[in-house]
Amino acid sequence: MKKAYLYKTSPSISSGIAAVLFDLDGTLLDTAPDMTHALNLLLEEEGLKPLAYEQCRDHVSHGSIAMVKLGFGDAQSPADLERRRQRFLHLYEKNLCVDTKCFDGMDETLNSLEEKGIHWGVVTNKPAFLTDPLLQQLGLYERACSVISGDTIAQRKPDPAPMYLAAQQCACLATECVYVGDAERDIEAGNRANMRTLLASYGYIDKTQTPQEWGADGIVEHPAEILDWLDDSCELIYA
C-alpha cells in the first residue's frame, strides 16, 4: 500500500505512525525470572541467601549495577561492585533465555503490527552481547526492523540519539514513531526525540516511582492496549 502522510502544523512533523519501538526488559520481554536467577547464583557463590522474585522484579529495568546493589547493598567498594557486576553478567549470559518470554499478549501485538505493515524495533540499554542472542533465541531478531543496544553507539537512553538511529533504520522520521517503555529514561528519550511515548505500566515499576509524572502520551496496562491506543490516537502509515 502506498504511504500517505498527514501533517499537523509543519511538513516536517507527521501525524502518522510508521513504526513502534520497544524497550526490552519490562516492556517487550519478561526477563526478570532469568535475571533474578543470575543474581541468586551470585549470592549463593558468596554464601548469601537468595532473594525472592518479588524483591527483584521491579529492579530489573535498572540494569546490572542495580541488581548487584540490590543483592549486596550500597556499601560495596567500587572494585567489589565491578567484580560482582561482571560475574553477574557472566552468569546471566550463561542462563539468558531459560524462563524469559514475551509478555502475555505481546506476540499477538507484534503479529498485528506486521499484518498492518507497521515496522517495529527495539531500543534498549542492554548491551548487544546479551540483546542480540536473546532476541535470536526467541525468534524476534530477524523480524525487528531495528535493534539498538546500549553499546551500539556512544549515547544511551535517556539521550535521544539511539531513538533517531532506530527511526533511520526503520526508514521513517522519529516523529513517525511510538516508543513504548517502562522506565522514566524511556519516556524522556522518546519525548526528546519527538516521538509519541507510551508507558508500559505492566513492566518493572516499583512503588516508589511516580510514572504518571513522566510525561508519556499514554499508559497501557497490557500489550494489547498498544494496538487500541494506536487505533484511537494515530493515523497509521503503511509500509
Q: Which residue has the higher pLDDT, 231 or 193?
A: 193
**Which residue out of 25, 30, 58, 182 is catalytically annotated?**
25
23 as an active site residue: the answer is yes
Q: How many domains does the chain have?
A: 2
What does residue 74 show for φ and ψ, rounded to 5 degrees? -90, -5
Residue type for 234, please? C
Q: What is the pLDDT of residues 147-182, one digit of tens each?
A: 999 999 999 999 999 999 999 999 999 999 999 999
pLDDT at 220: 96
* Residue 130 sits in the same domain as residue 176: yes
Domain assignment of residue 79, yes or no: yes
**Same-domain status, 85 and 168:** no
The DSSP code for 58 is G
* Helix spans in the chain (H): 32-45, 53-56, 63-72, 78-94, 106-115, 128-137, 161-169, 184-192, 224-233
pLDDT in the model for residue 102: 98
When the pLDDT of each residue in the chain is averaged and rounded to a whole number, the result is: 90
Between 3-7, 48-52, 82-86, the lowest mean confidence (pLDDT) is in 3-7
4 domain residue, yes or no: no
pLDDT digits (tens, 9 = 90+) for 25-68: 999 999 999 999 999 999 999 999 999 999 999 888 888 999 99
Q: 124 with 188, same domain? A: yes
26 and 83 housed in the same domain: no
Give pLDDT, residue 62. 86
Query: Facing residues of 121 across strands?
Result: 21, 146
Active site residue 232: no
Residue 236's pLDDT is what?
58
Same domain membership, residue 232 and residue 178? yes
Nearest Cα residue to 88 out of 70, 64, 66, 52: 64
Q: Do residues 221 and 112 both lie within one domain?
A: yes
Task: Band the pLDDT of 11: cuts 50, 70, 90.
Answer: very low
Mean pLDDT of 115-138: 96
pTM: 0.89
What domain range is 203 assigned to?
16-30+102-236
5 is a domain residue: no
Q: In Å, how far from its chain's centre is CA 63? A: 11
